[in-house]
Structure 1
Amino acid sequence: MRKHRLDLFSLIAGGLFTVIAVLYLVAALNDRSVNGRIVVPVTFIVLGVGGLAGAVAAVARRGRPDREE
């Protein structure tokens, strides 16, 4: 199988949604409720940080163009 580059944003988004799913599953099993006023903003913040990290990683991967003097 051919190797591919790490997609940082997809990794962070997948991990975030897995954590949210486990959080809701554990809350349901323990007869608790999850406060959506906290989960939704934290989700958006983590996705934003993941997007920025992915963009920075992509720019760093490309490298800087040589300066012409």
Structure 2
Amino acid sequence: MRKHRLDVFSLIAGALFTVIAVLYLIAAVNHQSVNGRIVVPVALIVLGVGGLAGAVAAVARRGRPDREE
């Protein structure tokens, strides 16, 4: 089986949505509320950083030749 390249943006986005889901789950269990005025901007900032990291990784990867195994 061939290894695939790491998709940084997808990894960060998946981790972010998992953290948000766990945050809401913990808040619901403890009868608390989550302030969406904080969660939404932080989520957008993290997605922006993830997109930037993915773009930088793609540019850095472009200069290296692919290794075939």
TM-score normalised to the size of structure 2?
0.90
Tell me what 2:43 maps to. Answer: 43
Larger radius of gyration: 1
Tell me what 1:60 maps to. Answer: 60
Count of residue pairs brought into register by the alignment: 64
Tell me what 2:22 maps to. Answer: 22
Computed over aligned residues only, the root mean square deviation of the Cα atoms, in angstroms, reads: 1.1
The one-letter code of the counterpart of 1:36 is G
Once superposed, which parts of structure 1, at least 4 consecutive aligned residues long, lie more than 4 Å away?
none
Report the Cα offset of residue 22 of structure 1. Answer: 0.1
Unaligned runs of 5+ in 2: 65-69
- Residue 40 of structure 2 corresponds to residue 8 of structure 1: no
TM-score normalised to the size of structure 1?
0.90
Percent of aligned positions that are identical? 88
